[in-house]
Amino acid sequence: DKAISPSEDPVLLERADGIAWVTLNRPAKRNAISPPLVYRMVEVLAELESDDSVKVVVLTGAGNAFSAGMDLRDYFRATDGKPAEQMKLFRANALWQWKQLRFFAKPTIAMVNGYCFGGAFTPLISCDLAIASDDATFGLSEINWGIIPAGVVNRAVAQVMNERDAMYYVMTGEPFDGRKAARMGLVNESVPADQLRARVIELADILKKKNPTVLRTAKIAYRHAEDMSWEQANDYLMAKYDQAILHDPEKGRATAMSQFLDQKTFRPGLETYAR
């Protein structure tokens, strides 16, 4: 049982069927993000990125929380007045929360099983996809304790939420549930708690069937293109299109084209080619 895990490791890592389950593991502290958790996540993500057995990464939390955000005691108060230590810690946090996760070489899914506050929004939004439990509790709670949503929280929120919703929650700090998060597009969907894991596995299984070279290039290209002008995006995306074809060891494009045009064995509008 994850809730009573005896492990002292702030991050649990399990691999099964091509999925790496990364579990923030400080359930007694609602998986608040402490310095050891930050430094461990940097290592875990680096390890998973180069592990060929891992096709999809799922980020979740132990117990009844995804993560209660940054640890007020160990991340904030403990580093107050120590600018060098703070800079090192905050930089490492940015590294795992968005520099590694947003551009991760494999698809990532946030499985939001419970509380998700403040600083936890950054890794949530950095994951490519997010599925929440209907009864998960989200909140941009920074305003409630006298800070603004910083790190890159305000920037990340602006990426996925519309301005009215974002400003409402940035300014009120009001909590909302998984259903509401899904309606606002903060997560892809919400499901009853007892179906959460099964739905995430189902989604991971879809991703596992895709050509990994093309999947990696598609998601990273999407991330970069969204910040470009149309002219730049066009040129950049065509270069990435060529890159994916060039780097693809399974020559997916040629195989799929032949299966559709010559053998007439699959329809790309409706399914993935036979790999």
Give the β-pairing of 137-139 and 115-117: parallel
Q: Does 128 interact with ligand ACO (rule: CB under 6 A)?
A: no
Complex with ligand ACO: residue 97 or 217, whichever CB lies closer:
97
Complex with ligand ACO: residue 66 or 273, whichever CB lies closer:
66
Task: Record the tokens describing residue 152, joined without a space.
Answer: 């890159």
Measured between alpha carbons, how far is 204 from 207 in angstroms, rounded to an integer?
A: 5
* Long-range contacts from 194-198, C-beta under 8 angstroms, 24+ separation: 196/111, 196/113, 196/131, 196/132, 196/133, 197/111
Q: Does 78 interact with ligand ACO (rule: CB under 6 A)?
A: no
Q: Which of 117, 169, 176, 273 touches ligand ACO by CB under 6 A?
A: 117
Measured between alpha carbons, how far is 118 from 262 in angstroms, rounded to an integer?
A: 53
Number of helical (H) and strand (E) elements in the chain, helices listed first? 10, 10
Amino acid type, 134: D
Per CB under 6 A, the segment of 64-72, 210-218, 242-250, 256-264 that binds ligand ACO is: 64-72
Q: How far is the CB of 137 from ligand ACO (least distance, A)?
A: 7
Complex with ligand ACO: residue 107 or 118, whichever CB lies closer:
118
Complex with ligand ACO: residue 30 or 40, whichever CB lies closer:
30
Site mask for ligand ACO (CB under 6 A), range 31-50, x = bound? -x------------------
Q: Does 119 interact with ligand ACO (rule: CB under 6 A)?
A: yes
Helix H or strand E encompassing 61 = strand 56-61
Per CB under 6 A, the segment of 62-70, 93-101, 154-162, 164-172 that binds ligand ACO is: 62-70
Q: Does 69 interact with ligand ACO (rule: CB under 6 A)?
A: yes
Q: Which of 56, 57, 71, 187 touches ligand ACO by CB under 6 A?
A: 71
**Dihedral, 63, 38, 15, 19 alpha carbons, nearest 10:** 90
Q: How far is CA 11 from CA 4, 83, 181, in A?
A: 14, 26, 25
Q: Which of 14, 17, 51, 73 touches ligand ACO by CB under 6 A?
A: 73
Residues that bind ligand ACO (CB under 6 A): 29-30, 32, 68-73, 115, 117-119, 141-142
